[in-house]
Structure 1
Amino acid sequence: MRAILAAGLMMAATGGAVAQEPVLLHAAGSLRGAMTEVSAAFTAAGGPPVTQVYRPSGLIRDAIAGGEKAEVFASANMTHPQALAQAGKAGPVVLFARNALCAFVRPGLEVTPATVLDRMLDPAVKLGTSTPRADPAGDYAYQVFARAEAVRPGARAALEAKAVQLTGGPSSAPVPEGRNAYGHVIAAGQADLFLAYCTNGGPIAREQPGIRMVALPEALAVGADYGVTVVNGASTAAHRFALFVLSPAGQRILARHGFVAPGLPAE
C-alpha cells in the first residue's frame, strides 16, 4: 500500500508546472529538528528552498481546511491529513515515520517504568499533557489513560480529571523561541511529569539535563504514526519534496532524530 501511495504522489508530480518558488511545508512541532535537516538536504540535492511552518497538527489541519496556503503537510498522526484527503483538499496520505510516548520527569521525582502509573495517579504529582484534538500528542496521552483503565479500574477517569493540558492548544502559553515546550513547562514547575513523544529525549536532555525520560511499560505504551500528504494545487517541487521525505535519504535523517523510519531498506 505504501508503494502504491508513493507512486500516486509521483504521478501527481508529473501534472504540475515546474516551479522554483520555495516549497511550503507545514509540519508538526515534533518534526522541527528532523524536517529542518530534511529540508536542507532536499535543497542541497538540487531542490528549491523549503519554507517551514511548525504548529500542532490539528491546528494545521484546521488552517488548511480554512484556506491557508500550504503544499506539504507532515502530521504527527494519520487522522488529520486523511481528513483533508477525504474533504478533497489533499492527495493520498503516506506513513513516513513512527514515534511513541514517554514520561518526562522533573528532577528529584523518583519514577521507573514499573511505578510510572502510581506517580501519574499520585494527587501530589502535577501531570501534564498536550491538548487533545489540537495536538496529537494530547490524543496519544489520553490513549495512555485509556490503557491504564485495563491495568487499574478507575484510573482513566482519575487521570483525565487531574491532567493539565499545558501545550499544543490555540490558547496555550507561548514557549520561548528555540526551547523545547515540554522541558520548558517542567522546568517552570507547571508539571512534575509530562507525557510527550520519546523523540523529545535528546532536546530536553540538552536544554534541561536534570529532567529524565522514563519509558512507559508495555501495558501503557502508545505508538504514534506520522502521515504526509500533498495539498491540492501544490507545485511539482512540493511533490518532489514529499517523495524525498519517503526516500532512503529522508528516512535516514528521521531515524537519526529518533523516529522509526518505515521506509528504510532492510539491512
Structure 2
Amino acid sequence: MRTLIIAAVLALSTGSALAQETVLLHAAGSLRGALTEVSSAFVAAGGPKVTQVYRPSGLIREAIAGGERAEVFASANMTHPQALASAGKAGPVVLFARNALCAFVRPGIEVSPATLLDRMLDPAIKLGTSTPRADPAGDYAYQVFARAEAVRAGARAALEAKALQLTGGPTSAPVPAGRNAYGHVLAEGKADLFLAYCTNAGPIGREQPGIRMVHLPETLAVGADYGITVIASASPAAYRLALFVLSPPGQQILARHGFVAPGLPKE
C-alpha cells in the first residue's frame, strides 16, 4: 500500500483539475453492490464521477491486456492484477478485501456442512460452479475439489467431471439485468447446489428466499483474496479512488456488504 500511496502523490503532483475527470473502474461482478456504494461515497466526498464496468476478473484482465481502456482494476483474486503489473500495464497490487466460498442450495435439498461433500458427489445432484480462468469464483471452486481429495480419495476427479460451469465464462448464458447470477441459475433448476462467494447471501436471499447458504466445513474451506491496482497512465483521480477503497470509509462499506476488510482494526 505504501508504494501505491507514493504513486498517488506523484500522480497528483502532475495532474490537472480533478473536477473535470471521470474515473473508469473495472471490477469483479461480486463487488458490484459494494463498489457501487463506495463510488457514490467517493463522489460525495469530493471525488469525480466513477464509470463502473463489472465483469468476471479473468475476462477483465484479458480485455485490459488487449488494449481496453481502464484505470482502476478491482479483482476477485490477486493473480489477474499481478499479471498486468508484471507485464508493465499496471502498478502495485494491494489486498483490499477478502471473501470465502459457500454452497447455495435449492429448496427441498437437505445439506449441512457435515454432509456437503456427500451431496456434491451424489450423481443425482447438479453441481454448479463458475468458469475457471475466466472467473476466479470457478478457480476457487476447483480448489474446493482439490481439498476434497484429501478427505476422500477420488473425490477431486469425480467433482471435476460432474461440475457444470454455468456462469462467468465468455459464452455463459446471460442473466436478467439486476439479478444475481447464482440465484438465477438455481431458481431455473440448472443447478441444485452452487459453489459461490458467501457475500452472495444477501442478494440471493432478497431475490430467492427459499435458497439456503451452507458454510463449507473446515476441511473444504477456501478463502478469496481480492486485489486492486491502478492501470498504467491512469489519471490522478484513479489513484484517489483506489486509495478511497483502501481508506476506513471504503473498507467500512466493504465490511457492510459481507467482505472481510483488512484495512479495518480487528475487533
Using structure 1 for the length normalisation, give the TM-score: 0.97
* Distance in 1, Cα, partners of 2:265 & 2:14: 29
SS at match of 1:189: coil
Q: Which residue of 2 aligns with 1:137?
A: 137
Does the 8 Å contact 2:34/2:257 carry over to 1? Answer: yes
Aligned residues of 1:5 and 1:94 also touching (Cα < 8 A): no
Candidates 3, 6, 13, aligned match of 1:5: 3
Residue number in structure 2 paired with 1:119: 119
Unaligned runs of 5+ in 1: none
Equivalent pairs, count: 265
Alignment root-mean-square deviation, CA: 1.0
The separation in 2 between residues aligned to 1:12 and 1:109, in whole angstroms, is 56
Give 3-state SS (helix, strand or coil) of 1:115's partner.
Answer: helix
Q: Distance in 2 between matches of 1:6 and 1:97?
A: 16
Task: Pick which of 15-24 and 243-252 moved more.
Answer: 15-24
Q: For residue 188 of structure 1, what is the aligned residue in structure 2?
A: 188
Structure 1 runs (4+) greater than 4 angstroms displaced: none
Residue 133 of structure 1, CA deviation: 0.2
Q: Using the TM superposition, give the Cα deviation of residue 49 of structure 1 relative to its aligned residue in structure 2, in angstroms.
A: 0.7
* Partner Cα distance (1:8, 1:117) in 2: 47
223-232 or 9-18, which deviates more = 9-18
Question: How many Å apart are 1:112 and its aligned residue?
Answer: 0.2
Separation (CA, whole Å) in 1 of partners of 2:50 and 2:257: 19
Structure 1: how far apart are the matches of 2:184 and 2:14?
43
Distance 1:212 1:16, change over 3 A: farther
* Alpha-carbon shift at residue 12 of structure 1 (Å): 4.0
1:132 alignment partner, SS class: coil
2:266 is the alignment partner of 1:262? no
The residue identity in structure 2 corresponding to 1:193 is L
- Tell me by how many angstroms 1:266 deviates: 3.8
1: CA distance, partners of 2:118 / 2:13: 56
Counterpart-to-counterpart distance in 2, 1:74 and 1:236: 17
Q: Distance in 2 between matches of 1:27 and 1:133?
A: 16
- Could you tell me which amino acid in structure 2 is paired with residue 96 of structure 1? F
Distance 1:205 1:261 in 2: 22
* Percent identity for Structure 1 against Structure 2: 82
Alpha-carbon distance in structure 1 between the residues aligned to 2:99 and 2:215: 13
Letter in 2 for 1:196: A
Deviation at 1:13, TM superposition (A): 2.8
Task: Confirm or deny: 8 A CA contact 1:129 1:194 kept in the other structure.
Answer: yes
CA distance, structure 2, for counterparts of residue 192 and residue 159 of structure 1: 14
- Distance in 2 between the 1:244 and 1:187 partners? 36
2:104–2:193 contact (8 Å) kept in structure 1: yes
The answer to whether the 8 Å contact 2:112/2:214 transfers is yes
Q: Distance in 1 between matches of 2:10 and 2:118?
A: 51
* Equivalence for 1:215: 215
Rounded to whole Å, the distance in 2 between the matches of 1:7 and 1:17 is 15
Letter in 2 for 1:130: S
Q: What secondary structure sits across from 2:26 in the alignment?
A: strand
Q: Do 1:101 and 1:216's aligned partners in 2 also have CA atoms closer than 8 Å?
A: yes
Alignment of 1:87-126 (within 5 A): 87-126=87-126
CA contact (8 A) 1:81 1:93 kept: yes
Residue aligning to 1:163: 163
Deviations 1:151-174 (A, max 9, x none): 001000000000000000000000
The 3-state SS of whatever aligns with 2:226 is strand
How far is 1:15 from its partner? Answer: 4.7
1:153 and 2:136 equivalent? no
Give the Cα separation in 2 of the matches to 1:246 and 1:173: 34
